[in-house]
Structure 1
Amino acid sequence: MHFRLLLILTIFSYCNEPRLNNQSEFGTDSYLENQVLLCLTGKVSACQAAIPVCTECRFFSTSITYNGNRGGIAGADAICMNDAKKPVEPSRAVFKAFLVDDVNRIACTTANCTGGVSEHVDWVLKPDTTYKRAVDGVTIVTTNGEGIFTTQPGDAENPTVSQIITGFSAGGWITRSSGHCVSWTEGTTGITGLSSSNNLTITGGGNYCVTPTVILCVEQ
């Protein structure tokens, strides 16, 4: 009997999309029933939980090392999303790779983003946001209004990650010229920006793209 009723309601809703006639019905039983019917009939895509946006965001380092060929920025982001160390809660949280290249991900085009956040391209840090280590919740740093930081941050991983490659030049959050393993698609000889998990902005040096290192991942 219950199955028949559900089937009738479902068929009926294809022909007559339920509507609310009164704004005051929001949140009522009628409203919730309406949303259920819309989900069942595929008339809205809101059946899946919303993607959360972090206010206190987290860093973690991948459980596996990679050379400079990371499938580009998109491939590196996918690595972060599928790594065994990615926090399981909230379930739909998004993490992206702490990497830059000349086109797909840019932090600043002038030293320390004197032009403001308009210089960002798919940048992974937010303005005026606190960042923590996923492993233990210890605060690393709080970004400024340009979505960067100019003071030494805390360690982004515990235990400390001795090396990461980022593509940054020496200071100022600018991408190192041709120093990003051909936009993270080359894993043989090229040299890229070198950093460590307790020095997220590069201070100098570099490393060969053939050298395997972990990727730092940042919650969005």
Structure 2
Amino acid sequence: MKQLFRKATFRINLASILISILVSGVACGKDNDNNNAIVSATLLVATNTSSGSGCSNNDHCKMFVIKSNAVLNVGISGLDNQCNSDENKPSGGGTYKAMVADGANRIACTSANCATGGSSEHIDWVLKPNKEYRRADGTTVVGNTTINGIFESDLTNEISLVVNGTNFMITGLNANWTNSPNDCSNFSTNTGNVSFGSQLEKTIANVIANGNTTCSSSRKLVCVEQ
């Protein structure tokens, strides 16, 4: 608690210092172009200092299912972009990433349930260790991750009960959180196959590895707050 307080105090003090510099600059009669530059820089840094840790310091993070059908041949960053531009993204801002794996750019586990190396097996993984996750409403608990940054026990509640066309979502995962060979060639093509799970399930194996389908099929994404 003391650590969180110190972090918050530092951010507030830094923002205050920057604002003081801004006011001083304006008072000294700097020209409008300089004033505008100082305003922009101050607001940017103040924003970053207040929100830099995302949901890391909160008691929970959110997750949601996109409303639009996912476009899969865009790589991991393209999938993340779809999360952040989707209509179902919770209000309040924040950055979201797709809960998918491709075995190269985003990996959950290289051994079954990360049993060998724990969270050290992660590459750009989207779930945090020992964290509670909730639906977009911020109230309904989905489940809690382990120290390895995965769900191992059955979920408390389904990720979402709202179905827009299909209740299946792309994961690129096997049931033990290792990467499936079915991942649309690292999400670079609409040919081949991809593994998918279901938002209407609570059993982990069905949530992340319900089956395989073609990369051209209509499926959703699960997006996780960072």
What's the TM-score once normalised by structure 1's chain length? 0.76
Which ranges of structure 1 fall in alignment gaps of 5 or more residues?
1-25
Q: Is the 8 A contact 1:107 1:174 kept in 2?
A: yes
Aligned-pair CA distance for 1:158: 2.4
Which residue number corresponds to residue 211 of structure 1? Answer: 217
| 1:150 aligned residue (144, 152, 157) | 152
Match of 1:192 in 2: 194
Instruction: State the identity as a percent.
Output: 31
- Provide the alpha-carbon RMSD of the alignment: 2.7
Give the letter aligned to residue 194 of structure 2: T
How far apart in 1 are the matches of 2:97 and 2:121?
Answer: 18
The DSSP-based 3-state class of the residue aligned with 1:47 is helix
Kindly report structure 1 stretches of 4+ aligned residues shifted beyond 6 Å: 27-31
Residue 121 of structure 2: aligned partner: 119
Question: Higher helix share goes to which structure?
Answer: 2
Post-superposition offset of 1:191: 1.6
Q: 1:35 to 1:191 in 2, by over 3 A?
A: same
- Asked whether the 8 Å contact 1:68–1:212 carries over to 2, the reply is no
Distance 1:47 1:119 in 2: 37
Cα displacement string for residues 34-93 of structure 1 (whole angstroms, at most 9, x for unaligned residues):
255579454994423123511211111111112532x1000000011111111221x3x1
Structure 2 Cα separation of the partners of residues 162 and 86 of structure 1:
17
Distance in 2 of aligned mates of 1:101 and 1:122: 11
Distance in 1 (CA, whole Å) between partners of 2:134 and 2:17 is 42
Matched residue SS, 1:150: coil
Change over 3 Å in CA distance of 1:107–1:45 after alignment to 2: farther
Question: Are residues 195 and 31 of structure 1, via their aligned partners in 2, closer, same or farther at CA, if it must alter by over 3 Å?
Answer: closer
* Correspondence for 1:133: 135
Change (3 A) 1:138 1:45: same
Instruction: Tell me the TM-score normalized by structure 2.
Output: 0.74
Instruction: Supply the distance in 2 between the matched residues of 1:81 and 1:195 (Cα, whole angstroms).
Output: 21
SS of residue matched to 1:112: helix
Count of residues in Structure 1 that have an aligned counterpart in Structure 2: 189
Match of 1:33 in 2: 20
Match of 1:159 in 2: 162
| SS of residue matched to 1:194 | strand
Q: Would you say the 8 A contact 2:101–2:108 is kept in 1?
A: yes
Per-residue CA deviation, residues 88-136 of structure 1 (Å, 9 max, x unaligned), is 21x3x10011111011100011111120111100000001111001046
The structure whose Rg is larger is 1
Matches within 5 A, 1:1-220: 32-34=19-21, 36=23, 40=35, 41-42=37-38, 45-48=41-44, 49-50=47-48, 51=51, 53-54=54-55, 55=58, 56-69=60-73, 71-89=74-92, 91=93, 93-114=94-115, 115-135=117-137, 137-153=139-155, 154-159=157-162, 162-169=167-174, 171-177=175-181, 179-188=182-191, 190-197=192-199, 198-199=201-202, 201=205, 202-220=208-226
Q: What amino acid does structure 1 have at the position aligned with 2:160?
A: E
Distance 2:17 2:142 in 1: 46
8 Å contact 1:60–1:135 — kept in the other structure? Answer: no
Rate the CA distance shift 1:33–1:157 in 2: closer, same or farther, 3 A.
same
Query: Structure 2: how far apart are the matches of 1:80 and 1:210?
Result: 19
